[in-house]
Amino acid sequence: MNRIFLDNAATTPIDPEVLTAMVEVMQSTFGNPSSIHAEGRKARSLIEAARKTVANALNCSIGEIFFTSGGTEANNMALKNAVRDLGVKRIISSPLEHHCVLHSLEAIAATGAAEVEMVNIDERGHVDLADLRRRLEEQSADTLVSLMHSNNEIGNLLPLQEVADLCGEFGVYFHCDTVQTMGYFPIDLEKTRVSFLSGSAHKFYGPKGVGFVYINNDNHIKPYLDGGAQERNMRGGTENVYGIVGLAKALERAVEEREERRNQMESVKQYMMERLREVYPEVRFNGDPCRSHYKVLSVSFPESPKGDLLLMNLDLAGISASGGSACSSGIDVGSHVVGHLHPDSKRHTIRFSFSHHNTREQVDYVVEKLAAML
């Protein structure tokens, strides 16, 4: 059997139609989008068409979409600019956020520019909304809430509308990291009021190195990267034209095929849970699989002498998966999310994350191979 890729929360294979669109741009549209001649105007028109595609997918204004190098830049931009430009003095987040958010918050706190506090997390890994409300009731300074839509390691979903409404009730800013859910779940920014939102193309079958940040028109911030007047004076640097075109094409296809893709991934995820329970009765699924992203399944196996080599042995068997976040380092350092939920556990955790290309036959192969590794 060919290699089986079950690490789609880390990245996804580029869609062939996306690649075709990007190659066409690389071959025929080399102009600088800031130039006023024909070649420059052609490149600019592609960027603005892509911006319209993203805005339409989110039901927001094209003036609220700014292209970035990816989710990390988008999240840094939202958090640090909110403190610098909007007077935010207090940030409420969670200990289960992606490291690009947690490290940004550490950097902000280190400067003394804003206080950072963590909302309580329940035993299944969900944000305690009662605790969030209590903290908002106690606000004494301009506040921003930063919570991800879906956890990248256990998949738990935030009740986005409920949190947005809660932030609106107390008049605080709301930043949502939607890197894992963009293209997978419908988001209507006309109905769901968010201050800042982030996306990254390589999570929905687009290219790496390109993403976007949504900034609500009510929030007036200054450029994060100083330079030229690109991105309507919000982000200096010549635009990644073919990457932006690839992002838009990938998001367009993800929205068009969302239900079909979702049905396939849900089927494969459910089948894997059933097969693992059948073969390994003591298996544990981290988080709350019933209220989680259909592409993510975090699995903990009982302690075993071979467990420390589980990821390596899977790789040798032609199966790609991960233990912690792929963004941590080249070495798997474990999951800070699972560590927070089960601090004393000695179980061996693997994150399997699916795409619409995965099949039940692949699941059978994985379960069979696991038998010799545990």
92 Cβ contact list (under 8 Å, min separation 6):
117, 118, 119, 132, 135, 136, 143, 144, 145, 146
Q: Which residues pair with 322 in a beta bridge?
A: 351
Which residues fall within 8 angstroms of residue 141, CB to CB, at 6 or more apart? 89, 90, 115
Backbone angles phi, psi at 246, to 5 degrees: -65, -40
Q: One of 100, 167, 290, 327 is an active-site residue; which one?
A: 327
Alpha carbons 223 and 36: distance in angstroms, whole number: 23
Specify whether the CB–CB gap between 294 and 265 falls below 8 A.
yes
Structure tokens at 326: 């792929």
What is the CA 135 to chain-centroid distance, rounded? 25
Sign of the CA dihedral running 313, 318, 320, 321: negative
Instruction: Determine the Cα–Cα distance for residues 299 and 311; give it in Å rounded to an integer.
Output: 12
DSSP state of 357: T
User: Is 60 annotated in the active site?
Assistant: no
Catalytic residues: 327
